[in-house]
Structure 1
Amino acid sequence: MNAFIAELLGTAIIIAFGNGVVANVVLQKTKGNNGGLIAITFGWSMAVFIGVYIAAASSGAHLNSAVTIGLAALGKFEWSLVPTYLLAQLLGAMLGQLVVFIMYKDHFNSSEGLAQRVCFCTDPAIRNPTQNFITEFLATMIFMIAVLFITKGEHALGSFDALPVALVVLGIGLSFGGPTGYAINPARDLGPRIMHAILPMKNKADTDWGYAWVPIAGPILGALAAGFIFSAI
């Protein structure tokens, strides 16, 4: 139960801060409107730092469905615990998105549909599902390899692993965030996408379920590939 709560709370914190900075930059009439990609990437890295630091001691701070599945495939995590972690991450992502929605409700209603949706879930700059999938696959593979080395045995820092992991997320966003918005986490996209479908907003666009498989399949397969590479080194 402690691990479940830690995964739920940590993921909620990540989404609240992460999609909160997206809302601040993208939505109309906010103080941070048009703040740009740099603001978003720094906001997301701080989100990951806080979430990982909070959850590390109780759950290992996966906070990412691809990480959980990748660690289980590597034999570093019990498969029997995977459903519990995935559920906690999904519910946490939904809760974090609800916080963003409550805080920015007037700004959501003052913005057009696509701007609203990108504050919930990822949307590609150029829609090409095959290429978008490759981007998410490679970005997550790089992220997962970095995380595996950061948390490796003799070099692990415990809760302070949050800082290098956050810096990896910053680097991923700055270097590879342009094509798809770098989901690199199925729960990060799916939970808020569900909330987008549920929550009432003026001028709301469709939830774009046709694209939803990309930020789910790409990160999961990327994490599995990272595990294979890591185990071979």
Structure 2
Amino acid sequence: MSPFIAELVGTMILIALGAGVSAGVALKGSFAESSGWMVITAGWGLGVGMAVYAVGDISGAHLNPAVTLALAFNGDFPWSQVPSYILAQMIGAMAGALLVYLQYLPHWKATPDPATKLGVFSTSPAIKHPVGNMLSEIIGTFIFVMVLLSMGANQFTEGVHPLIVGLLVVSIGLSLGGTTGYAINPARDLGPRLMHTLLPIAGKGSSNWRYAWVPFIGPLLGGSIGGLFYKNVFQGQSTPMLWVLLLVTVICLFFAHRSGRKTQESVSSKVTA
């Protein structure tokens, strides 16, 4: 198996098990219906661990564009392979979402709320606040990457390390995930969101593309900053790219602030009218 196929299959497993637990908890008629946040965080963590076990020896089990970028910025992964890894992760995420759709086929029609169906595939904020939502994704992914790199770059695929990675995802979900649903992985949100748009899901509503840039850009920034921070602080290899990325982050937060203001003004004008 090539690294490309391994990343595709690994990400497919991750999304099938992760979005699968979200579907089991959220959709009507499931035996796991309404079993709560603890089950969701545990399911996602176990899904990550199992996916890392499955393909770690072949591709390093990045399964996440933010991890791939972090390793590249840190010098542990060749930039020439970054595009193919990210493409494989996106395709795998879409394939995993398709499996979840098929697994819960009769439950979509039984679930009346369109937002609940979208929540199986992609994340959404508990409170709409573009700056706060962006910061949540940046911080969560930053911590995720920092711990991975501290465990030893690509060496976390051996022994019990995949389970530790899974526990890390559970920890982030419990401690930091309540704000945005903790995408911490651009492929995890964008791939399934695309499938939500494309699939003939009974009674589905909007795919909320207005919000989609937050769980895409936020983790990319958080992961990249995490990789460069580790390189600068832990390894003592100073690089100006860290400051460039911090500036880009400030610019993105500024645009998020403007986006939030425009949304508020639009809502206010409709209410006044």
TM-score w.r.t. the length of structure 1 is 0.96
1:12 shift after superposition: 0.3
| 1:118 partner SS | helix
* Identity, % of aligned positions: 46
Give me the whole-angstrom Cα distance separating, in 2, the residues matched to 1:84 and 1:159. Answer: 27
Structure 2 residue matching 1:119: 3-state secondary structure:
helix
Relative to 1, partners in 2 of residues 1:217 and 1:157: Cα closer, same or farther, differing over 3 Å?
Answer: closer
Please say if 1:183 is aligned against 2:183: yes
TM-superposed deviation, 1:163: 1.3
Aligned to 2:49: 49
Name the counterpart of 2:193: 193
In 2, Cα distance between the equivalents of 1:123 and 1:32?
Answer: 21
Matches within 5 A, 1:134-213: 134-152=135-153, 158=158, 160-213=160-213
AA aligned opposite 2:192:
P
Report which structure shows greater RCO (CA 8 Å, sep ≥6).
1
Letter in 1 for 2:43: G
Match of 1:27 in 2: 27
| Deviation sequence 1:77-112 (CA, Å, 0-9, x none) | 111101110111000000111110001111112112
The match for 1:82 is 82
* Structure 1 outlier segments of 4+, above 6 Å: none
Judged with a 3 Å threshold, the aligned counterparts in structure 2 of structure 1 residues 53 and 203 are, in CA distance, closer, same or farther, namely: same
Q: Any gaps of 5 or more consecutive residues in structure 1?
A: none
Aligned partner of 1:63 in structure 2 is 63
Contact kept in structure 1, 2:57 and 2:157, CA below 8 Å: no
**CA contact 1:41–1:173 (8 Å) conserved in 2:** yes
In structure 2, distance between residues paired with 1:147 and 1:51: 15
RMSD: 1.4
Shift of 1:157: 6.2
Give the paired residue count: 232
Structure 2 CA distance for aligned equivalents of residues 196 and 157 of structure 1? 31
Does the Cα contact within 8 Å between 2:60 and 2:157 map onto a contact in 1? no
Contact 1:132/1:179, CA 8 A, preserved across alignment: yes
Partners of 1:115 and 1:76 in 2: CA distance: 39
Query: What corresponds to 2:214 in structure 1?
Result: 214
Asked if the contact 2:146–2:226 (Cα under 8 Å) also holds between the matched residues in 1, the reply is: yes
Is the radius of gyration larger for structure 1 or structure 2? 2
